[in-house]
């Protein structure tokens, strides 16, 4: 599925940014859960690499929102209708990416309009901004009626949608339906800019409620630390702390600790409160697995080193530590 060939940005023009609306979830409520609907045949057939869901996952974590689901579906009207209705019922914040360009197979807006029983209408302000930015371009003057109508399809939105202009120099708005579902273009650079720009318009959790992540790296094999991590997870689950282990081929294991430094109720102390600090847990893990806390740059470096070393070895040798001459058993 194609998207607009224009980036939507123009540094020489400035348009008003939308006024921040009332909280669509209700006063005092925050987004807690999220889902992403990635639309496009080109994702499913391998022609295009989906970078948007990865960026969205990072965004949700940094904002304290729990991303519960990512779906990739075809350019099919009924699939878009079914998935969008289900996600809006189940999650606080839903995004779609892809399928909002000028071509015949860009059906996202039309499908979402049907999903929520709305008609499609041209949005006058979006058309005005689009035409203002294109009026000095040679191709705009050469368009025939059909080509102009195709361009105007990018301003054909469900009639009851919120139209949110998030940047002064981006004419493409974010379309929000049902107070939850936000429609984005599929172009990664534009998607990333627009999602980031939408932040002030979202009822996100306050900063003190956002999770922390600490990673401990050890050179020990995963099998040697697995029993300890299992018992650690059982001990910390009641306190809302997640423990994960992620081996890096030929290097070691990253132990991930995710949680919030909040007090939790217990039944066996004097004041009824017990505070578990993630940093204290990390120090315990360092001692138990013979590792050390690492930052994001070190994590990325270890992973890159693993890729380079693996590429230089026969695959079975890399996997088994052997010579590469053994029979593979699956």
- Answer with the one of 171, 201, 231 that is the final residue of a domain: 201
Looking at the structure, tell me whether residues 74 and 136 fall in a common domain: yes
- Tokens describing residue 285: 């893990």
Looking at the structure, tell me whether residues 197 and 233 fall in a common domain: no
pLDDT number for residue 321: 41
Question: What are the tens digits of pLDDT across the range 126-183?
Answer: 999 988 877 777 766 677 788 878 888 889 999 999 999 999 988 899 999 999 999 9
Looking at the structure, tell me whether residues 69 and 193 fall in a common domain: yes
**Which spans in 237-295 are helix H?**
278-289
Tell me, yes or no, whether 17 lies in a domain: no
Looking at the structure, tell me whether residues 52 and 176 fall in a common domain: yes
Looking at the structure, tell me whether residues 178 and 315 fall in a common domain: no
Tell me, yes or no, whether 13 lies in a domain: no
Tell me, yes or no, whether 181 lies in a domain: yes
Domain containing 162 equals: 33-201
Residue 184, Cβ density class (10 Å: 0-12 exposed, 13-18 middle, ≥19 buried): buried
Looking at the structure, tell me whether residues 190 and 222 fall in a common domain: no
Segment-wise mean pLDDT, segments of 10 residues, the chain, 330 residues: 44 82 93 97 95 97 96 96 98 96 87 97 93 74 78 92 94 96 96 97 92 94 95 93 90 92 48 72 96 90 73 49 34
Residue 32 contacts residue 66 (beta carbons within 8 Å): yes
- Answer with the one of 158, 178, 201 that is the final residue of a domain: 201
Tell me, yes or no, whether 173 lies in a domain: yes
Looking at the structure, tell me whether residues 121 and 241 fall in a common domain: no
Looking at the structure, tell me whether residues 179 and 259 fall in a common domain: no
DSSP state of 219: S
Question: What are the tens digits of pLDDT across the range 99-136?
Answer: 998 887 789 999 999 999 999 999 999 999 988 877 77
pLDDT number for residue 122: 95
Looking up residue 144, the CATH number of its domain turns out to be 3.40.980.10
Contacts of 93 (CB under 8 A, 6+ apart): 31, 33, 34, 35, 65, 180, 182, 202
Three-state DSSP class for residue 78: helix
- Torsion of the alpha carbons at 19, 121, 107 and 37, rounded to the nearest 10: 30
Tell me, yes or no, whether 15 lies in a domain: no
Contacts of 214 (CB under 8 A, 6+ apart): 256, 257, 278, 279, 281, 282, 293
Contacts of 4 (CB under 8 A, 6+ apart): 100, 101, 102, 154, 172, 185, 187
Contacts of 27 (CB under 8 A, 6+ apart): none
- In whole angstroms, what is the distance from residue 242 CA to residue 234 CA? 10
Place of tokens 């705009």: 140
pLDDT number for residue 305: 78
- Answer with the one of 145, 167, 201 that is the final residue of a domain: 201
Tell me, yes or no, whether 50 lies in a domain: yes
pLDDT number for residue 311: 59
- Tokens describing residue 241: 């702390």
- In whole angstroms, what is the distance from residue 164 CA to residue 239 CA? 38
Looking at the structure, tell me whether residues 172 and 243 fall in a common domain: no
- Measured in whole angstroms, the distance separating CA 276 from the mean position of its chain's CA atoms is 29
Angle (CA) 63-67-68 rounded to 5° is: 155
pLDDT number for residue 326: 34
pLDDT number for residue 1: 41
pLDDT number for residue 313: 56
| First-residue to last-residue Cα distance in the chain | 37
Tell me, yes or no, whether 6 lies in a domain: no
Looking at the structure, tell me whether residues 94 and 143 fall in a common domain: yes
Tell me, yes or no, whether 174 lies in a domain: yes
pLDDT number for residue 249: 83
Looking at the structure, tell me whether residues 190 and 153 fall in a common domain: yes
Looking at the structure, tell me whether residues 229 and 295 fall in a common domain: yes
pTM score of the predicted model? 0.80
pLDDT number for residue 265: 45
Helix H or strand E encompassing 112: helix 108-115
Count of domains observed in the chain: 2
């Amino acid at each position: 599925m194609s998207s607009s060939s224009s980036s939507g940005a123009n540094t020489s023009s400035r348009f008003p940014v939308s006024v921040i609306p009332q909280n669509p979830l209700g006063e005092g409520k925050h987004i807690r859960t999220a889902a992403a609907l990635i639309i496009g045949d080109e994702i499913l057939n391998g022609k295009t690499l989906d970078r948007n869901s990865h960026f969205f996952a990072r965004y949700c974590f940094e904002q304290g929102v729990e991303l519960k689901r990512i779906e990739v579906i075809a350019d099919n009207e009924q699939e878009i209708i079914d998935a969008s209705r289900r996600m809006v019922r189940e999650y606080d914040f839903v995004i779609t990416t892809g399928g909002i360009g000028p071509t015949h197979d860009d059906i996202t807006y039309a499908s979402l309009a049907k999903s929520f029983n709305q008609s499609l209408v041209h949005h006058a302000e979006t058309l005005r901004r689009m035409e203002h930015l294109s009026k000095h371009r040679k191709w705009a003057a050469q368009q025939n009626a059909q080509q102009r109508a195709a361009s105007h399809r990018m301003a054909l939105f469900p009639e009851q949608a919120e139209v949110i202009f998030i940047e002064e120099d981006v004419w493409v708005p974010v379309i929000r339906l049902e107070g939850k579902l936000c429609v984005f273009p599929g172009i990664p650079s534009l998607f990333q800019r627009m999602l980031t720009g939408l932040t002030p318009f979202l009822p996100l959790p306050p900063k003190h409620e956002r999770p922390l992540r600490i990673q401990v790296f050890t050179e020990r094999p995963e099998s040697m630390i697995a029993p300890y991590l299992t018992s650690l997870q059982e001990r910390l689950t009641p306190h809302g702390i997640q423990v994960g282990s992620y081996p890096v081929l030929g290097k070691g294991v990253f132990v991930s600790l995710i949680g919030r430094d909040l007090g939790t109720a217990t039944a066996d102390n004097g004041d009824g409160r017990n505070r578990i600090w993630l940093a204290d847990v990390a120090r315990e893990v360092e001692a138990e697995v013979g590792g050390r806390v690492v930052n994001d740059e070190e994590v990325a470096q270890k992973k890159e080193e693993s890729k380079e070393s693996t590429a230089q070895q026969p695959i079975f040798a890399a996997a088994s530590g052997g010579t590469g001459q053994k029979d593979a058993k699956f």
